[in-house]
Amino acid sequence: MKKNILVTGGAGFIGSHLVETLLRENAWNVTVVDDLNDFYSPDIKRANLGLLRRSGDIQFFEADIRCSDSLQQVFDENRFDVIVHLAARAGVRPSLSEPKLYVETNINGTVNLLELARKYDVKQFVFGSSSSVYGENEKVPFAEDDPIFKPISPYAATKAAGELICHTYSHLFDIRTVCLRFFTVYGARQRPDLAIHKFSKLIYFGQPIQVFGDGSTRRDYTYIDDIIQGVRASIDYDGSMHEVFNLGESETTELGRLIELLEASLGKKAIIERLPPQPGDVPITFADISKARRLLNYSPTTKIEQGIPKFVEWFKTAQPAVSI
């Protein structure tokens, strides 16, 4: 018998890849909740939903996780075995100008879902957290038990709070909560606000790219198929009642090197406009993934040198329809 799963944010980048994977397994009744907001073009999210509908049956609710009443309707009509909660206001920089929106969506929205999980006896809750919770952690690579009490953006603070409230619900209400700290995810359908996608578009169209700082910031860039492998494993995770995992490639790449890789794949030279470092941006992210390897059998395989050409291949076919 098929199991029932709710994927919040399923019309987005990571969510739509997860739903595709679940549909391929043919073992799930998949429900998607997404409010199709305009953080980036809702047309992209609708296109993602269209792609999912062509891959299999999904039940879609256009609902806002900030509103318990509209979520109630979803739970009135379904009994879920698992919730994968990916809906969020994502992005570090916009959170500096709209902190309340981030708190309402990422914290209140998460509590709304946890409350419904409690009420309807959902046993497994997977929460999409972020590497940003580590703030300016000086110890690299970042490990799950490093302190996360100094987030440097509202976005990071909301993700840290989300993890904490997950712990509380698992402690009090017997819901297994698995918090996944994603490290900069990229691949087909990547959010257009993220550097790899944004830079690709600008380089492709011969426009300048804005580089904040001297290009020496480093990121652990994670290919989407690897992230999905980790998310998928966390759905089946049956260990302790609350767990936190880093999901990254465990390799860190300088921004300057990333731009070189994009130039090589796009076959065009970037025009670089240098600007001062941005508040809220961390200097480095670098995942220690030994815990995920051990407990989730997580085994990422796509190095940035292979992943960027794959991304660019998608990007070129998606132009200009998707990357608006």
Ligand X SMILES: NC(=O)c1ccc[n+]([C@@H]2O[C@H](COP(=O)([O-])OP(=O)(O)OC[C@H]3O[C@@H](n4cnc5c(N)ncnc54)[C@H](O)[C@@H]3O)[C@@H](O)[C@H]2O)c1
Q: Which residues contact ligand X (rule: CB under 6 A)? A: 9, 11-15, 33-37, 39, 45, 64-66, 86-90, 105, 109, 128, 130, 182, 184-185, 191
Measured from each CB, the residue nearest to ligand X is 12
Query: What's the CA gap between 156 and 19, in Å, rounded?
Result: 25
Query: What's the CA gap between 162 and 171, in Å, rounded?
Result: 14
Furthest-apart CA pair in the chain: how many Å?
56
Nearer to ligand X, 80 or 182 (CB): 182
β-bridge pairing 222-223 and 185-186: parallel
Nearer to ligand X, 191 or 242 (CB): 191
Nearer to ligand X, 93 or 268 (CB): 93
Instruction: Report the nearest approach of ligand X to the CB of residue 37 (Å).
Output: 5
β-pair partners for 85 = 8, 127
Which tokens in the block code for residue 287? Answer: 């995942």
Q: How big is the chain, counted in residues?
A: 324
Instruction: Report the nearest approach of ligand X to the CB of residue 64 (Å).
Output: 4
Cβ-contact 221, 249 below 8 angstroms: yes
Query: What's the CA gap between 78 and 86, in Å, rounded?
Result: 19
Instruction: Report the nearest approach of ligand X to the CB of residue 144 (Å).
Output: 15
Nearer to ligand X, 105 or 234 (CB): 105
The 10 Å Cβ neighbour count of residue 319 is 14
List the one residue out of 65, 33, 18 whose CA is nearest residue 234: 18
Nearer to ligand X, 33 or 178 (CB): 33
Q: Where are the alpha helices (DSSP H) in the chain?
A: 13-25, 42-55, 68-76, 93-97, 99-102, 109-119, 154-173, 195-204, 224-236, 255-266, 290-296, 304-318
Nearer to ligand X, 87 or 235 (CB): 87
Report the first-to-last Cα separation within the chain, whole angstroms.
41
Instruction: Report the nearest approach of ligand X to the CB of residue 322 (Å).
Output: 12
| DSSP string for 144-187 | TTS-----SSHHHHHHHHHHHHHHHHHHHH--EEEEEEE--EES
Nearer to ligand X, 1 or 54 (CB): 54
Instruction: Report the nearest approach of ligand X to the CB of residue 206 (Å).
Output: 26
Query: What's the CA gap between 247 and 143, in Å, rounded?
Result: 11
Residues with a catalytic annotation lie at 155
Instruction: Report the nearest approach of ligand X to the CB of residue 261 (Å).
Output: 17
Query: What's the CA gap between 247 and 130, in Å, rounded?
Result: 9
Instruction: Report the nearest approach of ligand X to the CB of residue 222 (Å).
Output: 7
List the one residue out of 172, 177, 176 whose CA is nearest residue 162: 177
